[in-house]
Amino acid sequence: MSVLQGAPLLVVGAGIMGAGIAQVAAQAGHRVWLYDLREGAAAEAKGKLGKSLEGLVAKGKLTAQAVDQTLAHIEPITALETAASARLVVEAVVEKLDAKRSLFRQLESLVAEDCVLATNTSSISVTAIANGLQRPGRLVGMHFFNPVPLMRLVEVVSGLQTEPAVAQAIHELSKQWGKVPVHARSTPGFIVNRIARPYYAETLALLQERAALPAVLDACLRAAGFRMGPCELMDLIGHDTNFSVTQSVYEANFFDKRFVPSLVQRELVEGGLLGRKSGRGFYDYADGAPKPALPAVNGDGPPEATILSVHGNDAVARRIRDALTARGRGFEPMPDSDWTGLEVDGAELRLTDGRPASQVGAGEAADVAVFDLPLSQAPGAALAWAPAVQASAAWCAAAPLWLQELGFNPQRLADAPGLVVARTIAMLINEAADAVHQGVCDEAGADAAMKLGVNYPQGPFEWLRGWDTAGVINLLDALDAHYRGERYRVSPGLRLCAWRRGLHEVECIGGGV
């Protein structure tokens, strides 16, 4: 496979994605032909790009000479035959299998035999697109993320017949364009759109159970380091788009319950409440609409306690000990306890293990409350908690005050297993482990894809290294036992990791059996 650096290329589709791909390629020095089926669309796209780049010149981010050079490399064309000498074609047309197949069959009759054919599809099987081509081995997925000039990730997706040399050539070219490429196997959702499903799905499930309001769930996940909460993000993406992707992944996985779409989101779509673009989704975007505020905890501090005990010896237990010490409170450390949290005169404030507080309270102390996985180190970060139904009114009032004493902004949820952050992170880890176990990508690729493609604060395997594998499995098993469905089944990759105690965590998932 010849090197593609500097090779002339054709971009088919002059929409937002196609124009962005053309810009990046032109800035890297390629001659770019830009084609669109709609008459005049390619020229319009170049004109819009010129205005956008001129705006960057005005801000001092680009020179006028660089803009002139970029635009000079892009030639809008009205016939595909004009670009017959292209060495690479990148397709960015409508997400319909028949349209993509038809285009590539047409291109095969025009370009040279060693021309690489790349599809920017975000969800359609690369293997299916290649079906019917004379040389299916030269077709590869080159999935960019929007906006293309700013987003660094490129998923390099290989179908069953994609030649390894073709995928590697696109991988190397992506790096030359300043991108971070990750190899992926062509399976539904590839890497990002597959692993990301739980981020939306867990919040949607909690909303369906009426566990909390959207603003509370969003605040708790922002506190965990995400730039936007799931409800905010779905409003930004558009519920029609987000629901369609979920539905596509669900159907392509033969209706696997892990990917089942949400009734809550379907109702929003059916009602035309699509988010920002319609003016309303989970939130109201009309001018002057009030922003939802988080509930505040009332009280001057927790009631006096005779005996304080800190259970556990993990990072959360150490954080509790440090917070109490900073407050000048004495406590008894109990590092050998089988749970993590704070005991106050016999009442228990436990880190969630995936069981509802009421289940914990039914078998042990009645005065039990659980709190979420505290990933934020920032003082006053939102943190979900829930009391057991058996808990006394006094403990229901005191528990959030103790969380406040420890430096959190407690947000009460209904007694949902795993609360919100713990179950969401566990499910993201589980989905990533399954993707690696099935050979879709490797661990480094999964981490890079999620951080660069959707701006996650950490990759799923980075979270796993900060949490123990057994703890993730136990939490998922508790969710599975509570809901009694397939959604929370543990990936075989995670179970293998737990069994291979002699191996380092990073080696466990991809070791193969």
CA distance 116 to 139: 6
CA distances from 465 to 406, 472, 497 (A): 25, 11, 12
Query: Which run of H or of E encompasses 310?
Result: strand 308-311
Tokens 């930004």 sit on residue: 236
> How far is residue 48's CA from residue 37's CA, in Å, rounded to a whole number?
18
113 is catalytic: no
The residue type found at 74 is: I
304 is catalytic: no
Give yes or no: 193 in active site. yes
**Which stretches within 364-468 are classed as H helix?**
393-405, 421-437, 443-453, 460-466
HSE-CB at 357 with a 13 A cutoff on CA atoms is 30
Helix, strand, coil percentages in the chain from 3-state DSSP, rounded to 5: 45, 15, 40
Q: Is 251 one of the catalytic residues? A: no
Query: How many angstroms separate the CA atoms of 467 and 316, rounded?
Result: 11
Catalytic residue among 108, 155, 348, 462: 155
Phi, psi of 19 (to 5 degrees): -65, -40
Angstrom distances, CA of residue 360 to CA of 110, 227, 310, 352, 389: 68, 33, 18, 10, 10
Q: Which of 125, 174, 193, 376 is catalytic?
A: 193
> Tokens in use for 220?
């708790």
CA angle at 424 for the pair 418 and 426, rounded to the nearest 5°: 80
Which of 122, 125, 376, 430 is an active site residue? 122
Check the CA dihedral 209-213-218-221 and report its sign: negative
Contacts with 109 (C-beta within 8 Å, 6 or more apart), sequence order: none
**Residue type for position 1:** M
Nearest CA among 300, 197, 294, 186 for reference residue 250: 197
State the chain's maximal CA–CA distance in angstroms. Answer: 84
Of 30, 143, 183, 311, the catalytic one is: 143
Asked if 339 and 351 count as a contact pair (C-beta separation under 8 A), the reply is yes
Per-residue DSSP letters for 7-62?
--EEEE--SHHHHHHHHHHHHTT--EEEE-SSTTHHHHHHHHHHHHHHHHHHTTSS
- Annotated catalytic residues are 122, 143, 155, 193
